[in-house]
Structure formats: C-alpha cells, structure tokens
Amino acid sequence: MLAMKKQVPPHNTETTALKPSMKKEKDSMIYYKAIFIYMLGGLVGTLWETILNLCRGRGFVFCNGSILTPFNFVYGVGALVIIACLRNQTKWWGVYLIGAVGGGVVEYLLNFLEEKILGTRAWNYTGKFLNINGRTTLIYMAFWGLLCLAVIFLVYKPLNRWLDMIPPETMKIIAIVMATIILCDFMITVSALIRYAGRNAGRAALTHAGQLIDRLCDDAFMKRRFPNMKFT
C-alpha cells in the first residue's frame, strides 16, 4: 500500500515578506498619531485656560501660550505624556495616582526649566493653598489625576478608533504639515519670550531678527498673550 503523503499548504513567501514592513508601517503611524493627540490636548488646554481666565474676572484672553497656533504647549505635551505612560493601565486608581503625581512633576519641571532658560514664569502659585515652591499645587495635581481618568477611559480609545479611519497617506501629510507649523510656532514663541524678558531687563536687540520680533511681538502683545507671566 502506498503511503499517502500529507499535503502541506504552499508557503506564501510574499505574505511573510510583507509582515515586517506592515509592522514597521504600523509602528510609524504612532508618531503621526502623536501629532493629532498633541493638537487635541493643546486645543482643550487653551479652551480650559481661557474659561478659567473668564471665571477669574480677567476678561476674555485667548490663553494658548503660543504665538502662531491655538495649541497650548503645556497641555499638548501633557496629553502625550499621559497617553504614553497610562494607555495600558487598566486600574482606575493606578491611572489617577500616576496621573496626579506625573502631572505635578511635568508642571513643576516645565516651570523650572522656563525660569532657568528664559527668565520668566508663565504661572506662579506662590501663596496658593498647598503649593509646591509656587510651581504646582496639590489641588492642581488632583485635577491632573481626574484629567488622566477622562483622557484614558473616555477619550483615548474613541480617538484612536477615529484616527484609524483616516487613510495612512492622508494622516502622514496632515501630521507632517502640522508638525512643521508647531515646530515653527515653538521656535518663534521661545524667541519672543527671550526678547520679552530681555526688554524687561533693559537689553536691546542686537540682531535684525531680534528687532523684528520686538516690533511684531511688543510688550502690549505679549501681555495679552501671556497675562499670567512673571519675570524673575
């Protein structure tokens, strides 16, 4: 009797060859998604700070903390840190505790670096209840914890599903364009803040670029854009 040979399905080398490239493509999309997450977090932060300013009786001030875009740097970076650190966390209390402590640390470090590098402080909680060196407060840390709960359990998954619906090539183009604009905004904002602090200290602009910034972003403009900023 002839032994029946077991038929082995043909090995699809094309499919196998595609797997590493497909994984690489999927991994690269994470970076493009990060731009959208930054924009959403920054925009929500701008609206939140603008509303807080109104509630404090200071009138309407568009508190975006930047020159060109409506995206608040602190909240945009905060959204990225929250999702990067907590997206795989399933326990609500873990999200809250890590978010509260992490949010306080990020807020403290950003304020510290701004003061040391630029000589300014965009926020100063000195005199506020339970403040930590005027850079953050336990109350704000509790808020960061609540914000993290909302972001992880209510926002991130629907947002991720919506981003997956965008054609990859379209997402790449939008993300690259917006990343370029955000980078330019960051550089211009930092330059404007350096000159703002320089003018306050009586230092004249020594370059044509500095003189141009002084004309376009004078003290009146900077006071409207950064109403809470203090010089050190």
Contact 186, 66 (CB under 8 A): yes
Domain assignment present for 4: no
Q: What is the pLDDT of residue 65?
A: 84
9 in a structural domain: no
Both tokens of 157, joined, read: 């998954």
Assigned domain for 170 exists? yes
Position 5 confidence tier, pLDDT thresholds 50, 70, 90:
low
Residue 161 sits at the vertex; the CA angle it makes with 157 and 163, to the nearest 5 degrees, is 115
Average pLDDT, integer, range 104-127: 87
Structural domain span for residue 97: 31-56+63-231
For residue 203, pLDDT beyond 60: yes
Burial 105-139 (b: 16+ CB within 10 A, else e): ebbbebbeebbeebbbbbbbbeeeeebeebbbbee
Q: Is residue 25 part of a domain?
A: no
How many CB atoms sit inside 10 A of residue 16's CB?
9
68 in Cβ contact with 185 (< 8 Å): yes
Helix 73-86, helix 92-118: angle, nearest 10: 140
On whether residue 85 sits in a domain, the answer given is yes
pLDDT at position 18 = 47
d(CA 121, CA 134): 10
Q: Structurally, how many domains does the chain consist of? A: 1
Does position 2 have pLDDT exceeding 80, yes or no?
no
Query: What pLDDT is recorded for position 151?
Result: 87
Q: Where are the beta strands (DSSP E) in 25-148?
A: 120-121, 131-132, 136-137
Inform me whether the pLDDT recorded for 212 exceeds 70.
Answer: yes
Task: For residue range 138-165, list pLDDT tens digits in order.
Answer: 999 998 899 899 888 888 888 888 988 9
- The answer to the question of residue 5 being in a domain is no
181-198: pLDDT as tens digits? 999 999 999 999 999 989
Cα separation, 146 vs 133, whole angstroms: 22
**Stated pTM of the model:** 0.76
In a domain, 18, yes or no: no
Residue 95 lies in a domain: yes
Query: What is the Cα gyration radius of the chain?
Result: 24
H helix runs in 125-216, sequence order: 138-150, 157-164, 168-200, 208-216
